[in-house]
Amino acid sequence: MISLIKKVISSIMAFIIAVLPFGNDTSEKKCDPAFNGTFLQSWLSSTWSDERWQDEIENMKEAGIEYLILQDVANKAYKSSGGAWTIYYDSELDAFSDATVCPDVIEAALRNCKGSGIKVFIGLAMFDDFWTEGAITAQYSEMCDIASLMVEEIYNKYYAEYSDCFYGWYFTPEFNNVLTCQINIGGMSRGLNKIIDSMNKTDPDLPLLLSPFFAEYLANGHVLTLVNLVRLLDSVNFRDGDIFAPQDAVGALWTSPENLEKTWKMYDAAVKSCDADIKLWANCENFCLAVADSLLAGFLTRPASENTVSVPATLDRFVWQMETASQYADNIITFSYNHYFSPDEVDDMYIKTYLDYIENGFELEAQKPSDPSDFVKAAENGVTLSWSESEDNFGIAYYRIEKNGKFLSRIENCYDDASLTFNDVGGSLTDEYSITAFDAAGNCSETVIVK
């Protein structure tokens, strides 16, 4: 207990010194501002053919990816919807006797990554009620019991044949600073230690990766979160080489840009308190989640986003996230190349812009799109706006429309070609509209106004 108190005090002091205006200068980068790993959710890849896998692997290698992290391969639905399991591999565990069995993503990933140089982390179990229950009910402990059995079953089933690419494990529940996780640090640690015990029985050299996140809304602040992180790191039996890879939570809007560096300083102070030589990696989010507006947005809940569907982040924001993380993290991974950058999922302008950034020594291209032309408005079911397409060296990500100087809508171009019309049902011909084109790097055209 005395040792833990000393660690807590030392970590808090280190954090306070780091965030003070005259604190330590962390401008020297610990890694390049580029990612070399990606998370892949099982539902996305479960129907991929080997041909599709090989295309994806070639694309990932071109992007410099060395690590593939499969997310949960066993998921328990919300109790309110029946609490049934869905699994993504062939299991003989009693817990999955009534599970829905989907195609084996573990074998498919390992088989196709074999010989590619890509190292695979295998995700374990997850239960949907974690987002409301955390570790305060028996479900968390039960899930950890099942996950510990999964470790031995999966290792015995796949490791011998795929030892060259079966690299490690991923613990899927995302520890965070919300009360449901913070109230039972001891229970969270005990559950995780059960899983680590199974890992040590099979192969203690295979690292474990965790990816927690920090929330600014209805949750503990930085100092109290740091205290509980130190407690967690002190009570979990981490091994040298295990990986603590926090999400930066910028894409999901849990962390505001102005607090991102403070949050990385908190993680840095926490990891340095751990007795084991664990690695601090960064999980930089390369997407922008769609979050609706509300009276509490930005105060008690996440702020609203302009996009109404989840989309890839433009590279100016994503590069800034990686540059910030590179001052603290030993390595950068992302959620997710496969979901938001793969040319088989979204328009290839994003990965082409990223590859250009890498090829040019981590310098993002700055060529502006051409202005939208022929921008007109017509009285039709309110007001219908139309314009001609802008041109860009890599492609137009979206068009942003304002009405009387205030944001009205975004027309996305990441999944399909953007519609070059927009209907404002409540509009009038007396309203003033403007439109601006943005490319995948975040460069914008001149704003075109029609009165």
pLDDT tens-place string over residues 118-141: 999 999 999 999 999 999 999 999
Q: Are residues 283 and 412 in the same domain?
A: no
% of the chain with per-residue pLDDT over 90: 92
Q: Are residues 286 and 389 in the same domain?
A: no
Phi, psi of 76 (to 5 degrees): -100, 125
Q: Tell me what pLDDT residue 2 has.
A: 76
Q: Tell me what pLDDT residue 127 has.
A: 98
Domain end point (choices 299, 332, 359) = 359
Say if 367 falls within a structural domain: no
Say if 37 falls within a structural domain: yes
How far apart are alpha carbons 7 and 9 in whole angstroms? 6
Q: Are residues 291 and 428 in the same domain?
A: no
Say if 28 falls within a structural domain: yes
Query: For 314, which DSSP code?
Result: P
Q: Are residues 325 and 429 in the same domain?
A: no
Calculate the average pLDDT of the chain: 96
Q: For 265-286, what is the mean pLDDT?
A: 97
pLDDT tens digits, one per residue of 434-449: 999 999 999 999 999 9
What is the DSSP code string of 160-195? TTTTTTEEEEEE-S---SSHHHHTTHHHHHHHHHHH
Q: Are residues 69 and 93 in the same domain?
A: yes
Question: Which domain CATH number covers 392?
Answer: 2.60.40.10
Q: Are residues 71 and 170 in the same domain?
A: yes
- In DSSP terms, which residues pair with 284 in a beta bridge? 334
272 has pLDDT over 80: yes
By DSSP bridging, strand 100-101 and strand 85-87 are parallel
How far apart are alpha carbons 279 and 175 in whole angstroms? 17
Residue (of 409, 183, 215, 181) closest to 301 by Cα position: 215
Q: For 400-412, what is the mean pLDDT?
A: 97
Q: Are residues 417 and 288 in the same domain?
A: no
Q: Are residues 330 and 394 in the same domain?
A: no
Three-state DSSP state, 120: strand
The sign one gets for the Cα dihedral 420, 425, 430, 431 is: negative
Phi, psi of 279 (to 5 degrees): -95, 140
By DSSP bridging, strand 383-388 and strand 311-312 are unpaired
Q: Are residues 384 and 354 in the same domain?
A: no
Q: Tell me what pLDDT residue 25 has.
A: 59
Burial of residue 270 (number of CB atoms within 10 Å: 0-12, 13-18, 19+): buried
**Token reading at 424:** 């404002």
Q: At what angle do helices 2-19 and 222-235 cross, to 10 degrees?
A: 140
Three-state DSSP state, 390: coil
In angstroms and rounded to an integer, the radius of gyration of the C-alpha atoms of the chain is 23
Looking at the structure of the chain, the number of domains it has is 2
How far apart are alpha carbons 96 and 219 in whole angstroms? 34
Most distant pair of Cα atoms in the chain: their distance: 74
**Token reading at 262:** 């403070």
Question: Which domain CATH number covers 330?
Answer: 3.20.20.80
Domain end point (choices 305, 335, 359) = 359
Q: For 356-360, what is the mean pLDDT?
A: 98
Q: Tell me what pLDDT residue 3 has.
A: 87
CB 74 within 8 A of CB 130: no
Q: Tell me what pLDDT residue 21 has.
A: 78
Please list, in sequence order, all residues whose beta carbon lies within 8 angstroms of the beta carbon of residue 430, skipping any fewer than 6 positions away: none
pLDDT higher for 59 or 24?
Answer: 59
Say if 368 falls within a structural domain: no
pLDDT higher for 332 or 381?
Answer: 332
% of the chain with per-residue pLDDT over 70: 99
22 has pLDDT over 90: no
pLDDT tens digits, one per residue of 51-96: 999 999 999 999 999 999 999 999 999 999 999 999 999 999 999 9
Amino acid at 66: E
Q: For 282-302, what is the mean pLDDT?
A: 91
Q: Tell me what pLDDT residue 24 has.
A: 56
Amino acid at 328: Y
Q: Are residues 207 and 271 in the same domain?
A: yes
How far apart are alpha carbons 177 and 216 in whole angstroms? 9
Q: Are residues 339 and 395 in the same domain?
A: no
Confidence of residue 148 (pLDDT cuts 50, 70, 90): very high
Q: Tell me what pLDDT residue 26 has.
A: 57
Q: Are residues 335 and 387 in the same domain?
A: no
How far apart are alpha carbons 366 and 316 in whole angstroms? 10
pLDDT tens digits, one per residue of 214-241: 999 989 999 999 999 999 999 999 999 9
CB 60 within 8 A of CB 358: no
Q: What is the dihedral of CA 343, 332, 220, 148, to 10 degrees?
A: 90
End-to-end CA separation in angstroms for the chain: 69
Domain end point (choices 359, 391, 408) = 359
23 has pLDDT over 60: no
**Token reading at 238:** 């981490």
What is the DSSP code string of 260-286? HHHHHHHHHHHHHT-SS--EEEEEEE-
340 has pLDDT over 60: yes
Q: Tell me what pLDDT residue 300 has.
A: 84
By DSSP bridging, strand 100-101 and strand 37-40 are unpaired
Three-state DSSP state, 73: coil
Confidence of residue 28 (pLDDT cuts 50, 70, 90): confident
Amino acid at 265: K
How far apart are alpha carbons 411 and 418 in whole angstroms? 6
310 has pLDDT over 70: yes
Structural domain for 414, as ranges: 373-450
Q: What is the dihedral of CA 158, 161, 163, 169, to 10 degrees?
A: -10
